[in-house]
Structure 1
Amino acid sequence: MAIWRSWAPLHCKIFAWLVVQYRLWTSDRRTQHGLQDEPSACFTCLQDQDNVDHILVRCVYAQEVWHRCFDKMQMDIAPPTQNITFTEWWFQQRTRFAGKIRRGFDSFAIGTAWALWKQKNARVFNRVLDQRTPEQLATLVLSEIKEWSLAGFGVGGLDPFVRE
């Protein structure tokens, strides 16, 4: 499967597995399990319900981060739209690549989703020093992918996702 064959660190792979299984503890899931009365709004944009797909693709903040990442990498990849799930978008876009580059894209998608999740948590838990603008988070994501590549992950498959 795409998750386990990616070059993302193990904690990011486990996170991605939880994403595709819809097992992240977002407010809609806590409400489902009786841990809160009703779902809360997204802590990043305050516009819609806090759930997996909103945090990773539907939130205006997330869309801006995806757009800025692709813009910085100078790649012609369509960022996720409002009417698609993260998993659907990821698996549609990954078909555009082959071999090592596909695994590189999987690693990039997982890394970006992980960064968006951490950003959401920085806002939920009021960690002001960890909060980033979309531009800052996109830069952070790409520098982390570069670090993965420098650490020996990807054997060239991450190169298209690394920019100076």
Structure 2
Amino acid sequence: MWTNWVPLKCNIHAWRAETHRLPTRIELEKRNICVGSTTCVLCEQGSDSTLYLVTACILTAEIWWRIASWCKIPFFFFFFFAFDIRDLLNIYKGAEGGSRDRKIVHGIAVVTLWSIWLARNDKLFNGKNAKVMKVAHNIKSRSFFLV
């Protein structure tokens, strides 16, 4: 589902994440591009795959927790039901309120994916450590100004 109030680049990014087409180190290795280490850029523990980055990285888990509490969605929806990117993008179905509220939650999830990717790339290419509070603040401000 595409969200019309979210920038096109965020929607395309969410689609690429859902289809595992983001240029993570694991995906680049599959295409015979030597990237060196394949550990997660943010937490340096797991693999640098789209699925790990979005659902299993400890730093992004805290970001999702903050966004879930901001949207008043119980975090256990994210924790127990998010095994794939599609699960995170469909989390809006469990949100309270009408269809407008659900569209807003879906858009926030799309913006969250985009912001996590920006934080990852900022650390990878610029050496800037991602701060959970700063990323969560950026998600809120990007989402707020788009609605």
TM-score range, shorter chain: 0.7 to 0.9
Paired position in structure 2 for 1:110: 110
**Cα distance between partner residues in 2 of 1:68 and 1:18:** 24
Amino acid at match of 2:60: A
> Relative to structure 1, is the Cα distance of residues 147 and 37 closer, same or farther in structure 2, using a 3 angstrom cutoff?
closer
Greater C-alpha radius of gyration: 1
CA contact under 8 A between 1:12 and 1:111: conserved in structure 2?
yes
Amino acid at match of 2:105: F
> Relative to structure 1, is the Cα distance of residues 74 and 94 closer, same or farther in structure 2, using a 3 angstrom cutoff?
closer
Per-residue deviation at 1:63?
0.5
Per-residue deviation at 1:143?
1.0
Deviation beyond 4 Å, 4+ runs, structure 1: none
Equivalent residue in structure 2 for 1:33, among 21, 25, 31: 31
Per-residue deviation at 1:76?
2.9
Amino acid at match of 1:18: R
Unaligned runs of 5+ in 2: none
Question: Structure 2 length as normaliser, TM-score?
Answer: 0.86
Unaligned runs of 5+ in 1: 150-164
Per-residue deviation at 1:99?
1.4
Paired position in structure 1 for 2:119: 119
1:99-128: CA deviation from partner (whole Å, max 9, x where unpaired)? 112211111000001000000000110253
**Cα distance between partner residues in 1 of 2:130 and 2:36:** 27
- Count of residues in Structure 1 that have an aligned counterpart in Structure 2: 143
Per-residue deviation at 1:39?
5.8
Q: Which has the higher helix share?
A: 2
**Cα distance between partner residues in 2 of 1:33 and 1:27:** 10
Per-residue deviation at 1:135?
1.2
Identical pairs, percent: 20
Question: Structure 1 length as normaliser, TM-score?
Answer: 0.78
Paired position in structure 2 for 1:153: none
CA contact under 8 A between 2:38 and 2:48: conserved in structure 1?
yes
CA contact under 8 A between 1:90 and 1:109: conserved in structure 2?
yes
Local SS of the residue matching 1:5: coil
Tell me how large the CA RMSD over aligned residues is: 2.1
Per-residue deviation at 1:55?
1.2
